[in-house]
Structure 1
Amino acid sequence: MNSDEIISVVADIGNLYTRAGFTGDDFPRWSTFSKCTETMQFGDEALGYGNGQVLDILQPFNPDLYENLLKKMFEKLGVQSKDYSLLLANNFQTKHDLQKVVEILFESVEIPNFFTIRNAALSTFSAGRSTALILDIGAYSTTASAVHDGYTLLKTQIQAPIGGEILNDPFRQFVVGEYNQFKKTCLARDIKQGLLTYEQIDSTQQYELPDGKFVSMQQAQLSEIADKLFNSNDNFKGIQHMLLDIINNSVNDIKQQLCSTVISTGGSSNIPGFLNKLQTTLSALAPPMCKVKLVMYPSNQNRYHSVFIGGSILASLSSFQSLWVAKNEYQESGRFSIIERKCPN
């Protein structure tokens, strides 16, 4: 670590998962669900909450729960927040939500320095690139973004209200027992991950449930479920068409660069055969002069944690250290206005 480097925590707090660790870490040290119970049990603790209500922290944004999650995060990492700066991935839906979080961080959590940057840019950095076409399949939404020279081009960004969780629904029928809705969703997700594939298979897929029973599904059934991310309907045009719109709406100078650096992130990107299908469908639609090439990560974990990894890389660069927003800057420079000046989009 460079002697001038500020010691920092890196966090990616998404709608479903929270990931956190330190500058230079290859993977998060703490990963948990972005959920809590009415008694402030966070993350995995909510799974065993009987039939009680499990609360969302970001859907909709709840500042009180978010503050408690931040404090829990520093506690789980075993450090005092007043001693560690924070690089936080920016996936907020509104400027107001981010503004409130910055206020919480400086005034309640009491961090000394702060920086935030869009998820798409961090995923780009995680792959060792500065320009890329990003497909982020989240739990509840999917976002397509162009990143150029480290900046997310928000004017061309497209978001759809469909994410990987839509693929869980057909598997809920196999979940039986006295569980809260959150636990049922998690069990359905486990079954999905064990069965779903985009690869052509001749045999029936089987998955063993916790009680020892087996679930069986035919290839035709699995294909129908998996294709929900590619098929168009009244509310969703399909992920390949989202990416195509980004390409078509980008300036000619970067179209080929975007096509040749397509990065897909999120848990659904790790479904067997998904990347091959995305490559095939997007290649069939792309402009003739653009050759589509997907960026391959060393492992599924790199793809799954790409936002955190990109933040860890960025915060470790010596050239980044001057970009931190210090607490005294925040207090003396019109508060949120300094964040808007120093943190890209």
Structure 2
Amino acid sequence: MSYQSPVIVIDNGSHTTKAGFSQDYIPSLVFNSSYSTSDNSKIVVGDEIDEYPENDVYTFMDSGTIYNFDNIIHNWQYVYDNLNNKEPLNSKEFPLMMTEQPWNTSKNKLTTTQIAFESLEVPLFSLVKTPLVQLYQMGRASGLVIDIGSSVASVTPILDGIIQTKSTFHSKYAGDFANLHSMNYLKSHKSLDDLIPRKFQGTRMSETFKNYQISYRTLEDFKYSMLTVNEMLTNNDSSVTKYFQLPQKDHVAVHSEQWSLLENLFQPKFSPLPDVSLPDPTINKPQSNGLSTLALLAIKSMESSFIPLNDSMTPGNMNSRYTKFNEILRELLSNILITGGSSLTVGLQQRLINDIYKQAHSFFPNYLITQPGRLVLGTLGNFQQNDLNQVWDKKFGAWIGASNLANMLKGTPDNNNGVNIALDNWFISKSDYEELGEDLVLEKFK
């Protein structure tokens, strides 16, 4: 059977939630992933947060996964109330698909599914892996997905549609980490109150509301208008000064900081933050490393899975025993997808690719593909900087990829193969959930 009602697709990110009907090209509803609460415990979601400056503001997400299950239902209900031109939708009438990170826990999967079926009472539900649908959206089943979001940066190797879970690494050196450095720089020149958006200056507000507005408005504007990722800091001309206009029309001069602030994404301890202690980068703790090293360590960790640790490299077996991993290297390095909202920063993608190119041979010295002159890197979704398609791919790639899968539910009168594939692989029906329970959820969404 095919389903006439479109699937509602929700992609909960740490910074924004993207939602829409599966037949839409891009999500029709995009709103921040925070919420506020008042003294009478009223929960406020989306743009309406701005209307209650005295409320405290909180988040639903941590490191790319939901942690606040007591209130996430309000985020999802906001989708149903606003998706159809603010005419509420009945959640019982629409299948629901959501995205999740590869490191999402079994407990979280079960709780999410329970809310979907028992609170929202959806007829069908699906959880799909974010990097997998991002890669599918590019028409690939194998590749290296580097997702640089707000609270987390992750690297996910995928081979033939299978996520290499043990080699999937993530760290907190992403957009929010860049925000901390941006805030530190601006506070060295102006007071915190000078960074508050103009419409709220002079307004009584909670500290969390103030920090929320500065982060979502002022710091985002500062990062994308002032900062650039550069290849060689020593070659920058610090005399080229930019001026950032603050909400009250004052200006802050930005000299070499327009390059150096984002260097911390690649070298986390490049410019230490006051009262913030970071671990020293080590190979044994991939999450302690910057973006480029994190990507190379993710691939490096796969090596032992395909080559026994007690095998030695000899001239006689180099071209036979290690052929398989050599081909895997070729497949991953020629299909690199750099995505996520923070990856839109000018120069970031090129810096990542250049770092991987320069360092690949030292990480993989025994492989033909990484020898000087042989390494060819390929990136997916190559558009010009600030091209609208590039913005959509990087900000909405997970949602678009998930909606493409969800559309297989619709089928045609003559061909229901797509429907059967979707039901068998991605969706759970409410009746099956009620009959089989947790075992089905963990098996289907493993």
TM-score, with length taken from structure 1: 0.91
The CA distance in 2 between the partners of 1:127 and 1:51, in whole Å, is 44
The CA distance in 2 between the partners of 1:95 and 1:6, in whole Å, is 29
Note the C-alpha offset of 1:303.
1.0
Note the C-alpha offset of 1:154.
0.8
Give the corresponding residue for 2:214: 184
Give CA deviations for 1:161-197 in whole Å, capped at 9, x if unaligned.
2221111123332552456211121222221121111
3-state DSSP of counterpart to 1:316: helix
Alignment counterpart, residue 58 of structure 2, candidates 55, 60, 68: 55
Give the corresponding residue for 1:73: 79
Whether contact under 8 Å (2:405, 2:422) holds in the other structure is no
Note the C-alpha offset of 1:269.
0.7
Answer yes or no: is 1:321 the counterpart of 2:412.
no
Give the corresponding residue for 1:25: 24
Give the corresponding residue for 2:364: none
The CA distance in 2 between the partners of 1:52 and 1:7, in whole Å, is 36
Larger Rg: 2
Give CA deviations for 1:257-316 in whole Å, capped at 9, x if unaligned.
110111111122101111111111111112335422222253222211111011011112
Gaps of 5+ in 1: none
3-state DSSP of counterpart to 1:25: coil
Give the corresponding residue for 2:179: 168
Alignment counterpart, residue 259 of structure 2, candidates 223, 241, 244: 223
Give the corresponding residue for 1:100: 111
Give the corresponding residue for 2:273: none
Whether contact under 8 Å (1:5, 1:316) holds in the other structure is no
Whether contact under 8 Å (2:268, 2:290) holds in the other structure is yes
**Shift in alpha-carbon separation, 1:331–1:301, aligned structure 2, 3 A:** same
State how 1:195-344 maps to structure 2 within 5 Å.
Answer: 195-199=226-230, 203-218=240-255, 220-233=256-269, 234=280, 236-250=288-302, 251=306, 252=325, 253-286=327-360, 287-288=370-371, 290-295=375-380, 296=382, 298-317=389-408, 318=411, 319=418, 320-323=421-424, 324-333=427-436, 335-343=437-445
Note the C-alpha offset of 1:232.
4.8
Answer yes or no: is 1:159 the counterpart of 2:170.
yes
3-state DSSP of counterpart to 1:229: coil
104-113 or 127-136: bigger deviation = 127-136
Give CA deviations for 1:26-75 in whole Å, capped at 9, x if unaligned.
21111111111113111222244324310111237111211111111111
Gaps of 5+ in 2: 231-235, 270-279, 282-287, 307-324, 361-369, 384-388, 412-417
Give the corresponding residue for 2:314: none
Note the C-alpha offset of 1:3.
5.7
Whether contact under 8 Å (2:8, 2:19) holds in the other structure is yes
Give the corresponding residue for 1:13: 12
Note the C-alpha offset of 1:210.
3.0
**Shift in alpha-carbon separation, 1:47–1:281, aligned structure 2, 3 A:** farther
What letter corresponds to residue 207 of structure 1 in structure 2? F
The CA distance in 2 between the partners of 1:75 and 1:127, in whole Å, is 31
The CA distance in 1 between the partners of 2:253 and 2:240, in whole Å, is 10
66-75 or 164-173: bigger deviation = 164-173
What letter corresponds to residue 67 of structure 2 in structure 1? F
Q: How many residues align?
A: 341
Note the C-alpha offset of 1:115.
1.0
3-state DSSP of counterpart to 1:41: strand
The CA distance in 2 between the partners of 1:106 and 1:225, in whole Å, is 45
3-state DSSP of counterpart to 2:43: coil
Alignment counterpart, residue 136 of structure 1, candidates 140, 143, 147: 147
Note the C-alpha offset of 1:246.
2.0
Whether contact under 8 Å (1:102, 1:336) holds in the other structure is no
3-state DSSP of counterpart to 1:305: helix
The CA distance in 1 between the partners of 2:181 and 2:53, in whole Å, is 23
